[in-house]
Structure formats: C-alpha cells, structure tokens
C-alpha cells in the first residue's frame, strides 16, 4: 500500500507540473500582459512603449519566461502563492476569501448528491422495466443532455421570476457567510445536482439490475429472504462500490459546473475572481487557482481509489497484487 501511495503521489506531482506548464504557456501566448491592463486602467489611453517597459520592469515581466516560471514554482513549493499583479494583494488572501463561498456550494451539493444517487439508482435498478425505472432513466437522460447554464436559466425563469419563491441571484453582502443566507444556495445547488447526478445514478441503476438478476439473489428469494433485506445486505454494497469512481468524477466535475453556476447566479465565489484575473492577465492568481483546482481533483480521485481498495477485495488483488 505504501508503494502504491508513493506512486500515486509522484504521479500527482507530475500532473501538477504539467498543469503549471500549460497554464504558463497559454498566458505567454496572450496578446497582452498585466502591464498593459494596469496602464489602460490608470491612464485610459494607449500606453507608450516606454510606459509599458517601465511597468513591466516594475512587475518583473521583463525577465525571460523560464526565469519567471522557475521563480513562481520555487515560491509555490515554499507555500508562497505570490502577489496579484493588478491589485497588489497576496494571492493566498484573495483565494481564501473566495474559496470559502465556492466550498459551501461544493459541500452542500455533495451532501445531497450521495443520498440522491443511491436512492434513485437502487430504486430504479431493483425493479428493471418498472414505471419507476423508466421514469428515472428518462429523467437522468434529459438532465444529462441539458448544459448547466440551460437548466440554470430554466430554474431562474420558473422558480425565481414566475413563482417568486427564491431569489434569482445569489448575492452576498461582504462578510456574510452563505450559510447565513441559505435561500441563495437553493437554486445554485439544485442546478449543480441536475448536472452531477445523472451519470452516477445510471451506473448504480445498471449495477443494481445486474446484481438483482444474478443466480444467488434468485436463490435467496426462493429461500424466503425479503426484498429489503436483499437490497440492504447484498445489492447496496455492490452498488456503493460501483458508484465510488462515478461519484468522484461528478465531484471533480463540480469544479467546472460551479464556475458556470457562480457566473449565472452572480454568486461571489472563486470563479468570478478567476475570470477577472484572466481578463486582467494576473498570472500569479490564475496559476495558483489552476493548481488548487487540479490538486483538488487529484485528491478526490486518490480518495476514490483508496475507498475502492478498501471495499473491493478484487481491486486490492489486481492493484496491490495481494500485498497490504
């Protein structure tokens, strides 16, 4: 197990390095930099070459690209996320301020996603071909076909604007936690659930149907074992083990879904700040945010792999070769 963890951690570090290189290369390919943005914002006109050169020197953008990348990487490894080129604030301070709001969305969605996918998948797969199975299958197909922004607009148009049950935007006063205004979370979380739940529900439904059709389940039925006991003791454990990686994929997919939802509902999360940083060519902030999101995805998939090894003897034998 230790060797497996070391391999995964080493691979994760390699992935993060590639992410950092790709983001840096894309930034270098842009047609302007933070110096041009700062001068355009402050001066209101086209800056002269001398002004651009002076501000680039002040921001450290006149150095060769490899040197700038290595300097940022060295600071990042030491825990220093750098300073915003535009606002002059520490990147870590800005990230933490916005990350909390985005984490609230992710935690609330995940807390609802797990029981939702298990209940729907088990209920549909327990009776293949039933009305409930057909209804769940049709609903998940429709939800999976809808982009997040489309379902979000529909929710705003119906729930917020037509019936006026919830606010159409999720604005939060400065210093107010989203937990203190739960009504602003309902539509964003519902929109994220619509996008994240279809795939794991369909996986659990298929796994449940396969287990219910297996010979040992039929034998247990003939011996008088009740349906609920079968579901709880035999079917549900198989469905849970099969749903770990689809659930991990849905949680990682929340990173992209949250970006859409935060923009649609004007929710003050990390995505809005990231979009502003990209438009302002604020490399330290964008690079650190990209590394943070990539790191979250890697950790989620690592936890999913460890959970699979814990609940599946077959996976342990294949991955670890019988070693613990």
- 157 and 298 inside one domain: yes
Distance CA 240, CA 227 (A): 18
Mean of pLDDT values over 166-172? 87
Residue 300 token pair: 């989620």
- 131 and 271 inside one domain: yes
Distance CA 143, CA 166 (A): 21
The percentage of the chain sitting over the pLDDT mark of 90, rounded to a whole number, equals 41
> For residue 114, how many other CB atoms are within 10 A of its CB?
17
Name the nearest CA neighbour of 192 among 64, 274, 105.
105
Domain that holds residue 221: 97-313
pLDDT of residue 187: 94
- 3 and 129 inside one domain: no
- 164 and 283 inside one domain: yes
pLDDT of residue 42: 65
Buried b (16+ CB within 10 A) or exposed e, 75-106: bbeeeebbbbbbeeeebbebbeebbebbebbb
Strand (E) or helix (H) holding 146: none
- Give yes or no for a contact between 81 and 75, defined as CB atoms under 8 angstroms apart: yes
pLDDT of residue 149: 87
Does residue 321 form part of some domain? no
pTM (predicted TM-score): 0.85
- 163 and 266 inside one domain: yes
**β-strand partners of 83:** 90
**β-strand partners of 300:** none
pLDDT tens-digit profile of 191-210?
999 999 999 999 999 988 88
Angle (nearest 5°) at CA 120 between 152 and 227: 170
236-264 vs 270-279: helix crossing angle, rounded to 10:
50
- 245 and 105 inside one domain: yes
pLDDT tens-digit profile of 8-40?
899 999 999 999 999 999 988 888 788 888 887
Q: How many domains, in total, are found in the chain?
A: 2
Does residue 86 form part of some domain? no
- 209 and 299 inside one domain: yes
pLDDT of residue 324: 47
pLDDT tens-digit profile of 264-303?
998 988 888 888 898 888 999 999 999 999 999 999 999 9
Show which of 49, 78, 107 is a domain's final residue: 78
pLDDT of residue 87: 80
pLDDT of residue 105: 92
pLDDT of residue 37: 81
- 302 and 224 inside one domain: yes
Mean of pLDDT values over 122-141? 92
Does residue 92 form part of some domain? no
How far, CA to CA in Å, does 47 sit from each of 59, 102, 187, 240, 280?
16, 37, 44, 60, 16
- 71 and 110 inside one domain: no
């Amino acid at each position: 197990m230790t060797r497996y963890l070391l391999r995964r951690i080493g691979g994760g570090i390699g992935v993060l390095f590639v992410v950092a290189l790709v983001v840096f290369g894309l930034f270098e390919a842009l047609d302007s930099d933070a110096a041009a943005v700062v001068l355009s914002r402050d001066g209101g006109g086209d800056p002269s070459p001398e002004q651009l050169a002076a501000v680039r020197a002040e921001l450290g953008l006149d150095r060769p690209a490899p040197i700038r990348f290595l300097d940022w990487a060295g600071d990042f490894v030491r825990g220093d996320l750098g300073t915003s080129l535009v606002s002059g604030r520490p990147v870590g301070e800005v990230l933490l301020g916005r990350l909390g709001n985005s984490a609230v969305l992710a935690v609330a969605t995940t807390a609802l996603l797990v029981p939702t996918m298990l209940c729907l998948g088990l209920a549909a797969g327990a009776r293949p071909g039933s009305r409930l199975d057909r209804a769940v299958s049709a609903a998940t197909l429709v939800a999976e076909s809808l982009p997040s922004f489309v379902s979000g607009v529909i929710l705003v148009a119906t729930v917020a604007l037509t019936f006026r049950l919830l606010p159409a935007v999720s604005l939060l006063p400065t210093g107010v936690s989203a937990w203190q205004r739960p009504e602003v979370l309902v539509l964003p979380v519902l929109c994220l659930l619509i996008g994240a739940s279809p795939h794991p529900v369909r996986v659990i439904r298929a796994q449940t149907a396969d287990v219910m059709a297996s010979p040992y389940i039929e034998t247990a039925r003939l011996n008088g074992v009740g349906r609920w006991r079968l579901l709880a003791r035999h079917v549900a454990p198989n469905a849970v083990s099969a749903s770990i990686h689809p659930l991990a994929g849905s949680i990682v997919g929340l990173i992209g879904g949250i970006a859409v939802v935060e923009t649609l509902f004007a929710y003050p999360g990390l995505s809005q700040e990231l979009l502003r940083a990209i438009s302002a060519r604020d490399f330290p902030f964008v690079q650190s945010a990209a590394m943070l999101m990539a790191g979250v995805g890697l950790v989620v998939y690592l936890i999913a792999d460890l959970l699979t090894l814990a609940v599946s003897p077959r996976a342990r034998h294949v991955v670890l070769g019988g070693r613990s």
